[in-house]
Chain A
Amino acid sequence: MPKTPLAARIALYCVVAAVLTFLVLPILAIVPSAFSEVSYLRIPPESYSTRWFAVFFEDPEWRSSLWTSIQIATSATILAVILGTLAALGLDRLAEPWKTLGTGLFLAPMIVPVIVTAVALYFLGQQTGLVGTKLGMAAGHTLLCLPFVVINVAIALRAIDGDWLRAAQGLGAGGPTIFRTIILPNILPGILGGTVFSFITSFDEVVVSIFLAGYGAKTLPVKMWETIRLEFTPVVAVAALFMIMLTVLPFVLTRFFGTEPGSAP
């Protein structure tokens, strides 16, 4: 791009800084509130203490909701990765128009508004008694996580050159060997990316969770949702803080273990 005038560049810099601040600061602003001493929420808090952390951990409902979230996120991620990888591998071999249709099917949960999916699953759940069960919740989350895995693995698959497979075949390798030695190593980054996205999506998931939680499967966001509407105390900020940490952590880890996000998906 030809040299833009200095004034324009400064203006751009300011605008971008302002927008980025707008995006990031409000989230970080919650953090101090978790350390508030008094029982009403204010940014910034008037005085600091850690008593609300104690409240969080002493309350069995908060504790169990955190544990439930971790359980659900883990199981949904495992399921989504298995199903999603199979789906991406299968889709890759399909001819049109099945390929497009199949892709549409697996990406549909991202297109159908979450509220609609949530209510539909609630309807099914009520009939089958799955509302309030961890099984139902995990299934619902898996559904929402699947598209991310499929996309990540599909992108990795597209980068595989058909000639590599033909070369391996000509050298005497059969289907399973080709998968193990050629395909799998090359889609591993995609699977990993899908895993991280899945975990975060499940952990953050609110709408479907609200409907499917019942009494037995309250995840952390569900407990937060209920608490916000009933008692507006800093314990919610503590929960929010945990949510921020647990969803940012996987990405920080992947950063340190090599996989740079690079460019946008």
Chain B
Amino acid sequence: MVAGLLLLPVGFMVVWFVVPLLQFFGNAFTSPRGAMEPFWTLLGTGVYRRIFWNTLVLSLAVTAAAVVIAYPVAYALSRATGSKFQVILYCVLFPLWVSVLVRTFSWILLLETNGPVNRLLMSAGAIDAPLRLLFNNTGVFIGMVHVLTPYAILPIYTSMSRIDDRLLQASDGLGASVFTTFRRIYLPLTMPGVAGGAAFVFLLSLGFFITPALLGGVNAISIAMLIEQFVNEQLDWVSAAAASILLLAAAVALLAASARFIRFGVMGVR
């Protein structure tokens, strides 16, 4: 009975996911210059290393920023009731329903030299000349934080909503100040959610394509853009596969490391 149910879905996954991935990865080892050669090239060449490094640093920065601004929103969401809750929730969910392409597109319009952000800053006297916010890491950073913050809010909110208020009351009753209760009781209890949100955002950032491509251009190439270049411009399937394997390995390593902190309560998988 179980087999009957799973036959079609598993078959589908194998045909359209497992096989294509394995086949594609297989390419990485078919270089005439040696099975592991592409990997050494990627990791050894300065150009590529800069791209990996850039993507890594950017992802870390985006993750940090996203988590920091997500935390207060998640907190407000966990404390809100009734219509306040609905409003905050919809504000968080609305961006998630909109395509990353649309969201990134809006930042192109906002961050351009004559765009509203620059005009606003100039008319407020904060700057004299327009800032270069597009086609560099700054633009990519802002765009990615915008896109990814909701993904951080939800896991943090979930862990916050599970905190038993009585723990906080106990801390208060034992004489702790609000700050101490926050630091010693609340914050640690939210850490699994924060770790989960951070891991998810970081994972997504590493593989991000659309936002760096549109907002960063040639000045801020991400690993994903590199892979795309290998495929579309250089027709270099070997390097594309090698880079993909490295990216996937980084993602899996990240998940494995953070799995200690996260409970995969979604499917009851522990």
Contacts and interface: CB of A to CB of B under 8 A. Distances in A.
Interface string B194-238: 000000000110110110001000000000100110010000010
A43 B12 contact: no
Contacts of B269: 99-100, 103-104
Interface in A98-142: 99-100, 102-109, 111-117, 119-124, 139-140, 142
A203 B19 CA distance: 25
Contacts of B95: 23-24, 27
Interface in B100-156: 100-103, 105-110, 114-116, 146, 149-150, 154-155
B5 A228 contact: no
A106 B24 contact: no
B23 to A, nearest CB: 7
A248 to B, nearest CB: 6
Contact of A19 (B2, B24, B73, B103): B73
B109 A43 contact: yes
A247 B99 contact: yes
Assign chain A's interface to a size class.
Answer: 35 or more
Given A27-B95, A100-B269, A124-B23, A2 B169 contact: yes
B267 A151 contact: yes
Interface string B155-193: 101100100010011001000001001000010000000
A264 B157 contact: yes
B23 A113 contact: no
B231 A122 contact: yes
Interface string B254-270: 01000000000011110
A115 B228 CA distance: 8
B106 A24 contact: no
A41 interface: yes
User: Which among A113, A114, A248 has the greatest number of chain B C-beta atoms within 10 A?
Assistant: A113
Interface residues of B, number: 88
- Interface of chain B, helix or strand or loop or mixed? helix
B1 to A, nearest CB: 7
Contact of B109 (A19, A30, A108): A30
Nearest to B240: A119
B73 A114 contact: no
B8 interface: yes
Given A27-B95, A261-B93, A117 B72 contact: no
A40 B103 CA distance: 19
Given A30-B105, A83-B12, A1 B79 contact: yes
- Interface of chain A, helix or strand or loop or mixed? helix
Nearest to A203: B99
17 contacts: A2-B168, A30-B106, A43-B116, A44-B116, A83-B8, A84-B9, A107-B267, A112-B21, A112-B248, A116-B227, A117-B17, A119-B24, A123-B24, A124-B23, A146-B13, A224-B101, A237-B105
Interface of B: 1-3, 5-6, 8-10, 12-13, 16-21, 23-25, 27, 69-70, 72-73, 75-76, 79, 88-89, 91-95, 97-103, 105-110, 114-116, 146, 149-150, 154-155, 157-158, 161, 165, 168-169, 172, 178, 181, 186, 203-204, 206-207, 209-210, 214, 224, 227-228, 231, 237, 240, 244, 247-248, 251-252, 255, 266-269
Given A16-B73, A87-B5, 13 more contacts: A1-B79, A20-B91, A23-B94, A27-B98, A27-B102, A83-B12, A90-B3, A114-B209, A119-B244, A143-B17, A204-B98, A204-B100, A261-B89
